Each structure stands twice: as C-alpha cells, then as structure tokens.
Structure 1
C-alpha cells in the first residue's frame, strides 16, 4: 500500500497534538550572520515558490522509549520534477544515496514549516526550526522494536522515517563518534564536509580496523542495546554516513548530527557543546541507562567524556578512546600529539580505555571484564 493510501486509511479520529520545536537553541536576538541567513532563506524561498517549487521532507532515524519518541527530519524546497519520496529511499540504494549527497548540501531549507506526523494511530503537528530541522519529542505508547512514522507537509509528499523504540529493560547503550572513530577519510577536518558530500564511492573511506566487530560484540553482550552515532557533522551528510555504517556492518542506530551555520551567538555552532547537550539529553530520555562512550583522541572526545563521567558517573559503563596515529593527529588538528585532554574532574574517569583500533579496545574490554 502506498504511503498516501496508508495516511488516508488511518483511524478516523486520530489524536492531534500541536508541538512547536526548534526554539530551544535559538532563544533571544540572533547574531547578525543568522539574521542575514534568515533574509537569504526568506528571499530564496519566495523565489522558489514563484517557480512552483514544492516542499520535500528528508527523514532521519529517530528513537525513543515506550512512552516518548524523538522524530527527526529536514524540510527542503525541491523542483516539481523531484519525486515526493526522493529522500525516502532504502539505505542500500547506492545510486540514490550518491545523488542525495551533493543535493542535500546545495538544497534550500524551508524554515518554520508545519509538518504532520502519523505514528501508530496518532497524528501530531510539529514545526521545523529556522534551519528547516524537525526535532520533535512525541508522547506516545509504542512497543519496543522498529517502527515507521509517516511525515508530510501537504497530501502527496509523504515520506517515512524509521523510529527505533528501545526495550524498557535495556541497561547499557552505546554512543559513538564517527569521524576518526569508526571511519578515516585521511583529510584535514575542514575538508570533511566537502568530502562526505561529494565523494560517494565506498573506497573513499576506510573503516577503522576492528570497530564493527567491537560494536557487534557489545550488541551481543547487551541484547536490544540502544546505538547512537553522535557527530559534529551536518545533517546534510546523513545519507552518506548512514550508507557507510550499513555497508561496513556497524549496528543500526540513530545519527545525532548538527545543523551548521550561524546561531544567536556566532557564525557556527560549537561541536563540543552539541555533544555535551546530546549526552545530557540521553540521560534525561533514559535515566536508568549506562552508556559505553566511544571516541578518538584527535579532538575533544576524551575531555567531553571524562567531564560527563565525573559529573554523572552512574550513567557511564565505559569510555573507549581510539588513539590516532601521528599522521591522523596532524590531519585532525595540525599537530603530531593529541590535544590537551584536561577535564574538570579531579580523578581519571572509571573504566577509561585506549587503543589504536577496535581490536585493541575489545581486548581491553575483555581484560577488564566489561565484555565476557
């Protein structure tokens, strides 16, 4: 059955909930660069509407508990000949995923658009933020497992978004960085966005040895383990990163990326602040969960994780840090040695382990008894 028919066939009177999202990080008067971006988005959006361009939704992988889920998507302007489900293709469709990379970077967002969400037998109305991002928490009772939400702005442009509801008895979850932790691109950090957007072949990226096996072992050790890929990468590269993880055998999970561009306080969002907020949000969403935190020593992951463990030790199962080579350190931040990884705590975080790759980290987990 088509998505449109599924929407029209929903229960006669679904519960409709109005939820406005995206205002948490955009309080107050925006920075002048953000105001300039708003003018650009408004001007270009009006021109595209006069050219009869339509709104299209790019769904992202959401997650949640049995009582609340987080739905993620992006609203874009698209030409009339773009299929309504262009952004709704299977992750294994290599041709479609390749095209989507550059189009998502070149696309024009549609700020503050109203989006309908049908999940289970309930319909919700949410709103995108000033960057066209839908980030909505919906109160709904769902069994553990994989679900699909149907999203649309107007009838006829429906897409589906994957939603993973974690088991209520899941005690351990995984949070993983992406760049230099699960994959290596061998390029300076400033070029990663361009690389991820325009270079589409599988050979363009290298898997960090042993990392897929490490994550698979953790998943077997903890059935139903929530998996989160937390990165400072932009939402624009979601399709390319999702394909990389799928093709290389990493456990499926939600990607928590960020919306690049001006904010209320400056030209760009803080990647470190993005990760710190995301970790605290996971604690709020899953207060009984302990997290295995995986990152690398090329940027600020050790300090971020150590601070988090010092503040909330009951929510940390282990900290795993992949040690970059001197060449990788040079590409990551311009020096041959790791960045200063000082943290606010007075003691080293518990169960903090480091190794050059997934094989070494797995050996450390087995040695310390975290994995049996």
Structure 2
C-alpha cells in the first residue's frame, strides 16, 4: 500500500538564503558528539583517513553537500539533523536529498549507501523560524543540534548551508504540547524484515541485497495507521541501531508501505571516541531518555521485537521512568528468525521474560504477538486503543 499524499518536494532556496543572512540572530549550537580526553586509537586512525581523503577530493574539485534528515521538537526547542558528505564537481545542492516518492533510486546494491565520504567538522549555518545558528558537524560529518526557537506546532522548514549557493531545506516537526501520547518504533524486524544481527546476514542485507527487496512485517502498516486514526496528531518516531547511511532507503521503504511519516533516529557505524563500534543499546537508551526530557508531558507507546534487546531496553526504561511509558508492544520473531538472530531460542525467551517482568512490575501494559494484526487485537483488548 502507499500513502495517499506523497510528501512534497522541498524548494531549494539558494538565492533567498543570501537575503536571509542579513537578518536574524547568530547563535552557537554544539554537536552531540563530544570528544573524549583520549580518543580510541581506531577513531584516531579513521580521523586521519578522513582528512587525507577529504584533501584529495577537494584537490580534484569535490565539494561538500548536505543530506538532511527530518528533525523534531517543541515550540521552543528543536533538534535539527543532517550529514555533511562530499559530492563530485558541479553537482546540485540537493545531490544527497532526492524526493522520497522517487522509488527508482532504490534499485541499487546496499554497499553504495556506504561508499560516500563524510566531511568531518564542517561549519554549517542553520536558519529556522526567524533565528540563525552556526554549528559544526561531528567527526563523522553528522550535524545534530538542539536549537532554541519560537515556532508553532506543525511542519516547518529549516535551511542548512555551508556557503552561499549551497543550501538545502529539511523538515522539522514541532509536536503539539497538548498531545499526551507518542509512539517510538524500532525498525529492524519490527517494521521491516532484516534478519539481523548475525554478522553474515547483516552484511548481506546491508551491502548486497537490492534495497527494493526488503520485506514489510505483515500487519504493521495497518497497525500504525489505525493508531494514527485513533489518536489524531500522535507523533511517530522510528528508532534503530542502523546507520545514517541507509536513511534514504528506510525513509522510502516506510513511505512506500504506508507507514506514518516521522523522524528517524539512527546512528553512525564505525569507530567512536571510546571503542571500535557504538553500543546499539546505549544509543536506544540515550534516545529514549532525550525524548523523555524533551517532551515531559508525553507518555510513549514503545514498539519493538524480541530479536535485538528491545524487551530488555524497554523493560529497563519502564522500570526507571514508568511515568513516561503508556504501554509496550513486542513483535515475536518466528523460530527461524530467532535462530538466525540469536543462534538459539532460549536466549530470546529469557530476555523477553525479564523485560515483561520489569514492564508489568511498573504497572504498564505488555503486549506481544507475531505480527501487526495480533498486536492490534492485543491493544484493543487491553484498551490501549479504542
């Protein structure tokens, strides 16, 4: 199924940006990637590699282009997300920002999503509402800035640029303060079948599989559409340990299969300031905690699966912050999916039982089913949905 109205293609205000530079206040915003006192040696090697490649690309005429990600926030504070990447000479400003409804670009091998070169520490100007900010990308080229603004609830546009003539726009969703319920959904094996995280299969799905070959989890689009109808204006956010490199593919997948529009909270693969790889669990826990503090008035419906630690993550969050959780819904993986995910069935059962105990011990409804149809029945029986 597809959404009735595709998101409109955003205008690229190149000339208009120059006029806006004359007005507005200048502010500083700090990236979310704060360096440690002694970065991990793998991170230092990657930094050297990025500097050498960047120098070579600039020498042959390549320039930085920005890839925008949907942001979100409150009327007084928003989170703007994007990534700075290099692009060949004479490419347009929106080179890394193709329209979501253009499905032809999805028919590529996954490795191409990881072949781009980031532009670390790039200086970026952000214009949102009547205010202007200057931020810097982190060591992986990610722009992740929390900005103080004055906006009304609804969809807004922020203008991001590295210099005059190189501007793109990105959507920022400002949630209504009157809303009392939000939904956070895992992606892998919750809305899309990926058969992760076993290493060989993860490699196959991320780097080899045709991007358009990904399969939808049965009944999940219908479930989310029913939630959106029952709770008008409910914010949807998609939280995953997947890399920002696959953002365009995932966004098109969600659009193509009729999932409600909403920001995605992904992460960066590769060395960090503290180790070889980022912790997926820590990424999810930090994201949930940021949502809790940003939207203290919201209670969250947490949706995930029992294949990638979601029961443990949601259980711990519910135990620590029961006031922030409305209910937990877990999609049960099949026996084959569990074996491929964990290598054994009992590991999943123990983790799910511990998560359920923590959630129900906090007085929060716990629901589980093998697909979206079953979860919808569970939500109605538990009166989470009318």
The answer to whether 1:4 aligns with 2:14 is yes
Measured on the aligned residues, the alpha-carbon RMSD in Å equals: 2.0
User: 1:185: how far off?
Assistant: 3.1
User: 1:301: how far off?
Assistant: 0.2
Number of residues paired by the alignment?
A: 370
Partner residue, 1:195: 205
> 1:157 and 1:193, CA in 2 relative to 1: closer, same or farther beyond 3 A?
farther
Please give the residue correspondences for 1:254-333 in structure 2 after superposition, counting only pairs within 5 Å.
Answer: 254-333=263-342
Q: TM-score, normalised by structure 2?
A: 0.91
Q: 1:111 & 1:218 partners in 2: Cα distance?
A: 40
Q: TM-score, normalised by structure 1?
A: 0.94
- Deviation string 1:189-235 (CA, Å, 9 cap, x unpaired) is 43436524554453x12211111111111112221111110000000
> 1:338 and 1:220, CA in 2 relative to 1: closer, same or farther beyond 3 A?
farther
Deviates more, 1:179-188 or 1:59-68: 179-188
The answer to whether 1:175 aligns with 2:184 is yes
User: 1:99: how far off?
Assistant: 5.9
Q: 2:310 & 2:235 partners in 1: Cα distance?
A: 20
- Selected match of 2:370 from 342, 345, 356: 356
- Selected match of 1:38 from 19, 31, 47: 47
Q: 1:187 & 1:106 partners in 2: Cα distance?
A: 21
> 1:23 and 1:180, CA in 2 relative to 1: closer, same or farther beyond 3 A?
closer
Deviates more, 1:271-280 or 1:347-356: 347-356
User: 1:103: how far off?
Assistant: 4.2
Q: 1:331 & 1:205 partners in 2: Cα distance?
A: 17
Partner residue, 2:382: 368
Deviates more, 1:327-336 or 1:138-147: 327-336
Q: 1:12 & 1:155 partners in 2: Cα distance?
A: 12
Partner residue, 1:22: 32
Q: Is the CA contact (8 Å cut-off) linking 2:161 and 2:167 kept in structure 1?
A: yes
Q: Is the CA contact (8 Å cut-off) linking 2:36 and 2:274 kept in structure 1?
A: no
User: 1:10: how far off?
Assistant: 2.8
> 1:199 and 1:162, CA in 2 relative to 1: closer, same or farther beyond 3 A?
farther
SS of the counterpart of 2:37?
coil
Q: Is the CA contact (8 Å cut-off) linking 1:170 and 1:225 kept in structure 2?
A: yes
SS of the counterpart of 1:20?
coil
User: 1:100: how far off?
Assistant: 10
Q: Which runs of 4+ in 1 moved over 6 A?
A: none
Unpaired segments of 5 or more residues in structure 2?
1-10
The answer to whether 1:225 aligns with 2:239 is no
> 1:17 and 1:101, CA in 2 relative to 1: closer, same or farther beyond 3 A?
farther
Deviates more, 1:242-251 or 1:142-151: 142-151
Q: Is the CA contact (8 Å cut-off) linking 1:10 and 1:121 kept in structure 2?
A: no
The answer to whether 1:131 aligns with 2:146 is no
- Selected match of 2:23 from 1, 6, 13: 13
SS of the counterpart of 1:108?
coil
The answer to whether 1:144 aligns with 2:158 is no
Partner residue, 1:160: 169
Q: Is the CA contact (8 Å cut-off) linking 1:193 and 1:233 kept in structure 2?
A: no
Q: Is the CA contact (8 Å cut-off) linking 2:192 and 2:214 kept in structure 1?
A: yes
User: 1:22: how far off?
Assistant: 3.1
Q: 2:251 & 2:87 partners in 1: Cα distance?
A: 22
Q: 1:208 & 1:106 partners in 2: Cα distance?
A: 28
